[in-house]
Structure 1
Amino acid sequence: MAVDPRGADLKRLVAEEDGQPIVMLNLLRFGSGGVERYAEYLRHFRPFAERVGGQIIYYGLGQPALVAETEQQWDAVLLVRYPNRTAFSTMVRDPDYQRGTHLRTEALVKAVLQPTLEAMNTVWPDGTHT
């Protein structure tokens, strides 16, 4: 199972660039020793994220799910805000950043990496606003 974005994934992400900030949702399942290895990755990752305007807004270890199938439970969640999609793509293409991505790959056995858009001030189908 892929745990890292591929070139085609990044091209699709950037093709949808609209200049809006995104929050990258990371759902993480660790392999043996993965928590420690992922901590090493985060130490490597943070300066590169900050260089492109990214900010870790939450990192937490998962607890037993209240509603989910067993295989849908996650060991950790990471939320990182980026100023736009291009900033994320710029970071992951940086050769110095790429030298440390093996730490993430080695830590994980399964992952979801999904960009999200803020939905504040959204008009819902019933006419209400958030």
Structure 2
Amino acid sequence: MAVTPISRRFVLLMATQRSILVLIASSLLACLADQRANGQPPNDAHFRSRLNSLESNPDDHPVFLLRLLKFKGDTDIEAFQKYLNVSVARIRELGGVVIFYGKAKPIEYDFSGSKKVFGFRPCPWDRILIERYRSRKDVLRLAKSEDYRTATKALQDIVEKTVVYALNGSPWSGGKKRSPADTMTGPPEPPSPNEAVYMLNLLKFKPGGEKIYLEKYAKVVAPLIKGTHNGKVICHFKPEQVLVGDEGYDRVILVMYPSAKAFTDMLQSDVYQEVSGHRADAISLGHLYGFSNEAAELKKLEQKR
């Protein structure tokens, strides 16, 4: 059968259209991959489905949102302040409270002569917010607030990367004590002078790892933090839903040390060095980031209203 010029053009046109469709599909997939990598929800429907999953969880205790934000290089900090003004006000109206707000705090540490701490590295985030809500329904009410949605859209323009986790104050496995965060009415009062560093621990356990962590590591380190180095475990959480981002954890812990030196002195102590291997044995993923306590800035926001 002879191929006419018209049929040739038709075949060429179809091939071109297929190529264009493949290119468009590839671009969309790449875009979604970039959004996931940057900690952004791929689309509003995806984010909404995660929020709906949160609402379906038991609502007998407070729920917390942990937000970590990385700004773009040329960020207008005033835009973030506007977001903070709106969000703090709306959270208060819903009967909630910001229980921690901090900025990344560089910590210099020389590992020579001591073991490296799994997950301890320069903080990749610029800000941290931990918010307490009376219920999961209140989180959805916040998300539906028009001025909050407007402020959030403006925030997206200045943020390079963000993750948001819903947490609760459930006890550790085998324990009965819920997190002190359940009853916190505001940020912890920083020591004076305010040189304290607040270490955020994001932990994912290996199978059976939580027991190893509690019995062989935490049992030794908790008294060391409090007694020898004047630190304090501010609160601990069990993550229940990833709202923005993909990396999940089993436990989130916030620990205060009176100074960066107090923290690094603990890491270099003989007692810590002896048990630090148990932490590595217990976790498959562990991030350890340092932040300041910006409670004073939150107080200023409260006083303005």
Superposition TM-score tier, normalisation by shorter sequence: 0.7 to 0.9
Q: Out of 92, 105, 116, which is 1:63 matched to?
A: 105
Task: Tell me how many residue pairs correspond in the alignment.
Answer: 127
CA contact (8 A) 2:86 2:147 kept: no
Distance in 2, Cα, partners of 1:122 & 1:81: 22
Q: Out of 103, 109, 116, which is 2:160 matched to?
A: 109
TM-score by length of 1: 0.80
Match of 1:13 in 2: 54
Q: Does 1:50 align with 2:92?
A: yes
Distance in 2, Cα, partners of 1:60 & 1:88: 21
Distance in 2, Cα, partners of 1:103 & 1:90: 19
Distance in 2, Cα, partners of 1:36 & 1:95: 20
Where do 4+ consecutive residues of structure 1 move more than 4 Å? Answer: 124-128
Aligned partner letter, 2:151: G
1:121 Cα deviation from its structure 2 partner: 7.1
Share of identical aligned residues, percent? Answer: 22
Worse-matched range after superposition: 84-93 or 119-128: 119-128
1:79 Cα deviation from its structure 2 partner: 0.7
CA contact (8 A) 1:37 1:106 kept: no
1:112 Cα deviation from its structure 2 partner: 0.9
Q: Deviations over 1:50-86 (max 9, x none)?
A: 1111211111111236713x6x621111111111111
State which structure, 1 or 2, has the greater radius of gyration over its C-alpha atoms: 2
Worse-matched range after superposition: 11-20 or 53-62: 11-20
Distance in 2, Cα, partners of 1:13 & 1:90: 13
Distance in 2, Cα, partners of 1:60 & 1:79: 9
1:122 Cα deviation from its structure 2 partner: 5.8
CA RMSD of aligned residues (A): 2.8
Distance in 2, Cα, partners of 1:41 & 1:115: 19
Distance in 1, Cα, partners of 2:127 & 2:89: 21
Q: What runs of 5+ residues in structure 1 fail to find an aligned partner?
A: none
Local SS of the residue matching 2:69: strand
Worse-matched range after superposition: 55-64 or 113-122: 113-122
Distance in 1, Cα, partners of 2:156 & 2:150: 12
Match of 2:146 in 1: 95
Aligned partner letter, 1:49: I
Q: Deviations over 1:10-60 (max 9, x none)?
A: 111112242310121111101122533211100111221111112111111
Flag the structure with higher helix content: 2
Higher relative contact order (CA 8 A, sep 6+): 1
Distance in 1, Cα, partners of 2:95 & 2:67: 18
Aligned 1:11-50 pairs, distance under 5 A: 11-31=52-72, 32-50=74-92
Q: In 2 relative to 1, CA 82–110 (structure 1 residues): closer, same or farther, beyond 3 Å?
A: same
